[in-house]
Amino acid sequence: MSTRAGFVSVLGRPNAGKSTFLNFICGQNLALVSHKANATRKRMNFIIMHTRQNMERTQIIFVDTPGIHKQEKLLNQFMLQEAIKAMGDCDLNLFLAPAYDPTSYYQEFLLLNEDRPHLLLLTQCDKVSKTEVLQKIAEYDEFREKFLALIPIECKDSFDFSPLLETISAHLPQSPLLYDEEILTTSNMREIYKEIIRESLFENLSDEIPYESDVVIEKFIEKPTINKVFGRIIVEKDSQKAIIIGKQATTIKRIGRSAREKLEALEGKKIFLQLNVVTQKNWSKTKDGLKKIGYDFDF
């Protein structure tokens, strides 16, 4: 039986619903989801197996990327480079465009994409009327020579993603499977745990704090019935440290409880989680500071 395999980048502006889309496709909450923009900072791979209508097996390696945006901050520059690298490295690109967005975001993507093959996914169609969806499809018609297909999708349990997976598979190269069929992500558990803790930071703190914070997993001990995780939350100011800890440590306890519950749901077993908060001034403003936390620059 022939097989196909390839890498598919998931691209779009900040808050276009990329991580939500991937979690629905995977059936697992692996990608960081937040209503706040620029939550995703690094590329992460998520693997889906699909059996085509002709019974051909396809392994799709989805690549989650930071939102396409332009800012002067060094961390934002790194995030944009992560998205641009994914565009060039992958066999197929998906551009996610919320149904209520102007087409200008897609036009900005075309300037960066350099005519590489891509699908245009019209997302969040359940948040507008059917008439508005049809109007938006008509607006994108002037770009029909640029994309391979335009596919409206909705990220909800009742939506059937099979036609989308069939279309993606058709545009991937014939190849042996690149990973074991049981693997859901190529990221190690430290990275997954880090993202889940960061998600809890976004959920429990005001807008400005999460963007000047990050998480490092210092120790990870895996046992049959329990995993022990020791993490460090890094901030840039002592005032931010005080906010994260909270009065009588109430905030850090809430963050830890939220993260632990998510980790236990993912692993299906008990999690011991210890979080410390440290101040590392200007960590996000220098390449050396970012590299120490795992953001590797090549520009």
Residue 299 covered by a domain:
no
What integer pLDDT is reported at residue 189 of this predicted model?
79
Same domain, 100 and 154: yes
Alpha-carbon torsion (242, 259, 62, 224), positive or negative: positive
> What average pLDDT does the segment 149-162 reach?
88
Residue 177 covered by a domain:
no
Q: How far apart are CA 189 and CA 234, in angstroms?
A: 19
Same domain, 33 and 84: yes
Question: Are 90 and 204 spatial neighbours (Cβ–Cβ below 8 Å)?
Answer: no
- β-sheet bridge partners, residue 47: 61
Closest by CA to 40, choosing from 6, 1, 10, 5, is 10
Same domain, 62 and 206: no
Q: How confident is the model at residue 26 (pLDDT cuts 50, 70, 90)?
A: confident
Where are any strands of DSSP class E within the chain? 3-11, 44-51, 57-64, 92-98, 118-123, 150-152, 213-222, 226-235, 270-279
Residue 143 covered by a domain:
yes
Same domain, 155 and 23: yes
Chain segment 221-243, per-residue pLDDT in tens: 999 999 999 999 999 999 999 99
Which range marks the domain in which residue 99 is found?
3-170
Same domain, 75 and 202: no
CATH code of the domain covering residue 256 = 3.30.300.20
Same domain, 80 and 210: no
pLDDT at 35 over 80: no
Question: Are 204 and 251 spatial neighbours (Cβ–Cβ below 8 Å)?
Answer: yes
Terminal-to-terminal C-alpha distance of the chain? 43
Strands 92-98 and 150-152, by their bridges, are: unpaired
Same domain, 115 and 201: no
Structural domains counted in the chain: 2
Closest by CA to 282, choosing from 74, 60, 50, is 74
Same domain, 124 and 196: no
Select from 141, 170, 199 the last residue of a domain: 170
Cα 47 to Cα 38, 69, 178: the distances in Å are 23, 26, 10
> What average pLDDT does the segment 234-262 reach?
94
* Strands, sheet with 213-222, edge to edge from the N-terminal-most edge strand: 213-222, 226-235, 270-279
Residue 176 covered by a domain:
no
Same domain, 44 and 165: yes
Same domain, 196 and 108: no
**pTM attached to this predicted model:** 0.85
Same domain, 116 and 214: no
Select from 136, 170, 204 the last residue of a domain: 170
CATH code of the domain covering residue 60 = 3.40.50.300
Chain segment 93-132, per-residue pLDDT in tens: 999 999 999 999 999 999 998 889 999 999 989 889 999 9
Element (H, E) at 254: helix 250-267
Q: How confident is the model at residue 10 (pLDDT cuts 50, 70, 90)?
A: very high
Residue 116 covered by a domain:
yes
Q: How confident is the model at residue 270 (pLDDT cuts 50, 70, 90)?
A: very high
Q: How far apart are CA 95 and CA 86, in angstroms?
A: 12
Chain segment 175-214, per-residue pLDDT in tens: 999 999 888 877 777 888 888 898 898 888 876 676 788 9
Residue 25 covered by a domain:
yes
Same domain, 197 and 136: no
